[in-house]
Amino acid sequence: MRGWGLVGLSVLVGGCVETNPPAALVHFPVTYQIPIGRSATAPVDRLNGPASPAQDVAVRTGAPVYFRIASPVAITAYVYEKRAPSANGSLLAQVSGTVFGSCFTPDTPALEFVFAAPDAPTGGTLLLTLSDQPISAAVQTAEAAASNDPPGRPAPLVSD
């Protein structure tokens, strides 16, 4: 009977172990600086040319996410729900231009933003701002200030 007690205890303890790690804490607003166009340092594929710059972002599942993109060159941005490290989920948004934004509620804890600037004669740094609230004029002012900073430097964040 002694052996059964250990088996029962291991089953009981085994049932209490959490298999999914908790999602990373999201702190909004956040602004990413992403090289785009000829300044992008993405790898080159011999058949398809340069890879598109991308940014993965942890978000809260079921909570609204507001985004705003400001780019020095015309781009197309694709937003995917990230379902696995190497696979995209559903396409949530496809937008084009130099300044635009939107809002959606993801069903996954991560999003992937992919940027394409196929006809850009020059490059620069685009700013991707994410928030759990509508993006305010103060954040837009911070983006404008950050666009004059060199790439790789964190953009200043301003919240109301």
> Which tens digit of pLDDT belongs to each residue from 139-151?
565 556 555 544 4
User: Where are the strands (E) in the chain, listed by range?
Assistant: 30-36, 44-45, 49-50, 54-58, 65-84, 87-104, 110-116, 124-131
Q: Give the mean model confidence (pLDDT) for residues 72-76.
A: 90
Q: How confident is the model at residue 38 (pLDDT cuts 50, 70, 90)?
A: low
The strand pair at 124-131 and 44-45 is best described as: unpaired
pLDDT at residue number 156 = 44
Higher pLDDT, 144 or 158: 144
Nearest to 69 by CA among 113, 121, 112: 113
119-146 residue pLDDT tens: 777 778 999 999 999 997 655 655 565 5
pLDDT at residue number 118 = 76
pLDDT at residue number 123 = 76
pLDDT at residue number 82 = 87
Nearest to 68 by CA among 113, 116, 38: 113
pLDDT at residue number 140 = 60
d(CA 66, CA 30): 11
Q: Give the mean model confidence (pLDDT) for residues 79-108.
A: 87
Q: What residue ranges define each of the domains in the chain, with the CATH number in brackets? A: 23-146 (2.60.120.380)
Q: Give the mean model confidence (pLDDT) for residues 4-26.
A: 46
d(CA 102, CA 97): 13
pLDDT(34) > 90: yes
Q: What residue type is assigned to position 32 of the chain?
A: Y
Average confidence score pLDDT of the chain? 73
pLDDT at residue number 5 = 52
